[in-house]
Amino acid sequence: MTNYKSEPADLLENDFYKAAILKQRGAKIASIFSKSIQKELLYQVEGNYDSPAAYDTPFGPDDSSGFDDMFPSINPEACPDAPWKNSHYPDHGEVWSLPWQSITNQLSPDSRTSADAVAAYRVYGIRFPYALMKTVELIEDKIRFSYKAENNSPFPLPYLWAAHAIFRMEAGMELLPPKGSIEILNALEGKLGKVGDTHNFPKTLNRNKKKIDLSIIPEKNPEGMQKYYFKDRVKEGICSLHNPQDGMSINLEWNPEKLPYLGIWVNEGGWANQFNIGIEPATAGMDSPTAGRKYGMESILKPYSSFEWSLDISVCSSR
């Protein structure tokens, strides 16, 4: 263990990557440095964190860097189902602001030897009776994030998990979503109109009837930000962010049967003057259990059951 931006950090390293994990700060993946291209992949806020993460506080500019787990919601709202109708999902969920327990020593010997480096963590719900486990593995030229969610109650639990992976962004980068993803649902009132408005991808009209191409990252705009989900369940689990200037591509891969929805957050400078992009494979859509249900994009954790999924991140360069 060492420190990263004033926070206690676990470091994982192999010939391709160096990663920093902050288990006291939601097991945030604070940094992924690619040795092959000599670049940090995740968006960084300059300087140290201003304050420790605190439960049930707004997700602020300090936190909008690295890769957090959004669970069991993104938007703050009341749980739609009994027996938790008086319980609220905090902003961006519970787990990003909680300390996680290290359980690496509980992994089987096979798990330890199959990866170049590995770390595992667990956290328990505060207002909801779940446990969430995460294992981070460096496996040659990819990083694998494996999860298991457990519902420890006799009631179905509405939930959403999304990978809040915030990447560095440059104007002119290309967003390459799964093949066949051609219609989106707007999830944030603003540039793309009202929540629930539909658009074709990539070329559409913004709320001012101006033609835009959602597959090309625009120049920084102090008023620009957008969040949308691809309307249909993805047919393949891959999304890439490609920079034609240097040939670099960041690739996210997952099982579309496990994570059927894909959200995209593009911050052109309209929020906290940041310039970054979130590529967010998810179990449900539209940023909350209630909205996911409304648009037919929900996920439910059955009573006394568990659900497992994984996500791989890799980087490559054509030059």
Taking only the tens place, the pLDDT of each residue in 295-306 is: 999 999 999 999
Confidence of residue 1 (pLDDT cuts 50, 70, 90): low
Is the pLDDT at 124 greater than 70? The verdict is yes
What confidence tens digit (pLDDT) does each residue in 164-192 have?
999 999 999 999 999 998 999 999 999 99
pTM: 0.96
Mean pLDDT score across all residues of the chain: 95
Confidence of residue 49 (pLDDT cuts 50, 70, 90): confident
Which tokens go with 142?
């990819």
Residue 51 near residue 166 (C-beta atoms within 8 A): no
What pLDDT is recorded for position 51?
A: 83
Q: Which whole number is the average pLDDT over 93-97?
A: 97
Which tokens go with 263?
């959200």
Name 309's bridge partners. Answer: 147
What pLDDT is recorded for position 238?
A: 98
CA distance 138 to 314: 10
CA distance 81 to 145: 30
What pLDDT is recorded for position 112?
A: 64
Q: Of 256, 264, 275, 259, which is closest to residue 202 (Cα–Cα)?
A: 264
Quickly list DSSP for 97-158: GS--EE-GGGS-HHHHHSSSEEEEEEEE-SSS-EEEEEEEEEETTEEEEEEEEEE-SSS-EE
CA distance 317 to 229: 27
Q: Which whole number is the average pLDDT over 201-210?
A: 95
Residue 148 near residue 308 (C-beta atoms within 8 A): yes
Write down all domains in the chain, each with its CATH number in brackets: 2-317 (2.70.98.10)
Q: Which whole number is the average pLDDT over 37-60?
A: 92
Contacts of 107 by beta carbon, 8 Å cutoff, 6+ apart: 118, 120, 135
CA distance 249 to 142: 13
Residue 140 near residue 16 (C-beta atoms within 8 A): yes
Contacts of 109 by beta carbon, 8 Å cutoff, 6+ apart: none
CA 220 from chain centre, in angstroms, equals: 22
What confidence tens digit (pLDDT) does each residue in 235-283 have?
999 999 999 999 999 999 999 999 999 999 999 999 999 999 999 999 9
What pLDDT is recorded for position 217?
A: 97
Q: Of 226, 257, 250, which is closest to residue 317 (Cα–Cα)?
A: 250
What pLDDT is recorded for position 223?
A: 86
Is the pLDDT at 40 greater than 90? The verdict is yes
What pLDDT is recorded for position 127?
A: 97
